[in-house]
Amino acid sequence: MNRAVWLYLGVLITVIASFVGLVQIPDRQLRGLQPVKDDLGVERPLRPDGGVLAGRAEYIGLGCLYCHSQQVRPEGFGADLARGWGVRRTVARDYIWDVPPVMGTMRTGPDLANIGARQPSNAWHLLHLYRPRLTSPGSTMPEHPFLFAWQRVELQRPTDALSFPEGEPRPGWVVVPTQRARDLVAYLGSLDHSYAVPEVR
């Protein structure tokens, strides 16, 4: 009987210590994180707005986080910095507006934590979503033609129509992005963690 009390007491202490060490202390340390101001006085990371939030929902809904991570590892823990995926390691401050953070589960594709700075062209992102191998030969990313629509060219070509390297697939028609595609590209463009943070010297 006496041993059972000590066993239960030991289990209880272990659970409480784990909760305090793994939940309470990190929560207290990270709760006060605030954006930092860049050289122009703009707070970073930017607080996401309507189109970016809708694009984030598309990113999650399409399962992009299963093939792409959003976490640049520090030097010595991989070649992320050498590959140019970021200019610094990712820190907790980068995720203060992300609820929940979409850090990803694996890296079938490249890390996207800094894709907005690495590839700022919306036209590139749209073409990449429509047919990834046009922009990235050998890519294993699936095509997303359902995010686009065919539109007949009447008098003037739409400004957001895709430009294919080999010319238009169907004469007299163009491929234009839907709102879902525009929102997703707005989200990808917002992924820019190239600002300086006090955590990384």
**What does the domain layout of the chain look like in residue ranges?**
1-32, 46-190
Please provide the distance, in angstroms rounded to a whole number, between the alpha carbons at the two ends of the chain. 56
The residue-averaged pLDDT of 167-181 equals: 88
Confidence (pLDDT) at 81: 87
Confidence (pLDDT) at 1: 58
Confidence (pLDDT) at 137: 92
User: What's the predicted TM-score (pTM) here?
Assistant: 0.85
Task: Give 10-54 pLDDT, tens digit per residue.
Answer: 999 999 999 988 888 888 877 888 888 888 888 888 889 889 999
Long-range contacts (CB closer than 8 Å, 24 or more residues apart) made by 48-52: 48/97, 48/187, 48/190, 51/182, 51/183, 51/186, 51/187, 52/183, 52/186, 52/187, 52/190
Task: Give 111-128 pLDDT, tens digit per residue.
Answer: 999 999 999 999 999 999
Confidence (pLDDT) at 35: 86
Closest alpha carbon to 90 in 125, 100, 102: 102
CATH architecture group of domain 46-190: Orthogonal Bundle (1.10)
Mean predicted lDDT score pLDDT of the chain: 89
Confidence (pLDDT) at 148: 96
Above 80 in pLDDT, residue 167?
Answer: no
The residue-averaged pLDDT of 95-108 equals: 87
Above 80 in pLDDT, residue 157?
Answer: yes
Confidence (pLDDT) at 177: 96
Task: Give 61-97 pLDDT, tens digit per residue.
Answer: 999 999 999 999 988 888 888 888 889 999 988 999 8
- Rounded to 10 degrees, the C-alpha dihedral 73/63/97/92 comes to -20
Alpha helices in the chain (DSSP H): 2-19, 25-31, 50-61, 80-83, 115-118, 122-130, 132-135, 179-190
Contact yes or no for 167/90 (Cβ under 8 A): no
